[in-house]
Structures are given as structure tokens and as C-alpha cells.
Structure 1
Amino acid sequence: MNSTKDKLKGNWNEIKGKLKQKYGELTEDELTYTEGQEDELLGKIQKKTGKTKDEVKSFIDSL
């Protein structure tokens, strides 16, 4: 199974679209992904959605 980090790198456009669908309050700027900043991105999603890091990672891993 790919790690969350690998999924973010390999399938970013698809994941970004699904995150926007599930968590509509996320902005394009908040979803800006830069390699090496996976934890920062997960933190932004957590803060904006109120979900735990594990919940966000589980959602990404389920894609």
C-alpha cells in the first residue's frame, strides 16, 4: 500500500479535486502542494475542516 506521502505526490490533481468535493471550505491556496510539505498541507486541511490528522490521512489513503 502506498503511503499518504506517495499518494499525494503521484495523484495530486485527483486527490485535490476529491478533497475539494468532500471539504468544500478548502481554498485553492490551502491545497497548494509543494513536495516536502506534506505535513504542513495535512495541518492546513485539519485546521480548516476540524478533522484529525488520522481522519485526513485515512481519507487520502482510501482514494
Structure 2
Amino acid sequence: MNWDQIEGKWHQLKGSAQQKWGKLTDDDLDRAEGNREKLVGVIQEKYGKTKEEAREEVDSWMKSAA
């Protein structure tokens, strides 16, 4: 699944993202809007990760969501 598909199915995938990153609220996920970089930023903010760490987690999650 690519990011265009994720953005299009974001409402269905928000639950999966919330399972992976339990600290993320519905508001956090709404703010991300299915956008990769926004999601990376929210994860960085909530978990205190580096941009690269958050990006790797998001990419790994994306592959499993496919």
C-alpha cells in the first residue's frame, strides 16, 4: 500500500495506527490526515523519538497495513 492509498483510506486505518501508537488520540490522528510527514511529526511529539526513528516506525506500519 502506498501513501496515496493510505490517505484515501485514512478513516479505516486510524484504528490500526491507534493500536500501534496507543498514545495517539483521535485528534492526533485527525491532525495527521493520513499524511506521512504529519504522522511522523505527531509520533515524534508524543513519543520523543527522532524524525528518523518515527519515520522507520511509520514505514514499517505502512507495510503491515497493506
Q: TM-score, normalised by structure 1?
A: 0.67
* Structure 2 Cα separation of the partners of residues 12 and 62 of structure 1: 15
Runs (4+) of structure 1 moved beyond 4 Å? none
| Aligned AA (2:63) | D
| Aligned AA (2:37) | D
Query: Which residue in the other structure is 1:58 paired with?
Result: 60
Identity rate, percent: 36
Q: What count of residue pairs does the alignment treat as equivalent?
A: 59
Query: Which residue in the other structure is 2:9 paired with?
Result: 11
Deviations 1:23-46 (A, max 9, x none): 111011110117xx4312222123
Structure 1 portions without partners, runs of 5+: none
Instruction: After TM superposition, give the deviation of residue 19 of structure 1 in Å.
Output: 1.0
Q: CA RMSD in A?
A: 2.1
Query: Which residue in the other structure is 1:26 paired with?
Result: 24
- Structure with bigger helix share is 2
| SS of equivalent residue, structure 1 residue 26 | coil
Are the counterparts in 2 of residues 20 and 26 from structure 1 also a CA contact under 8 Å? Answer: yes
Q: TM-score, normalised by structure 2?
A: 0.65
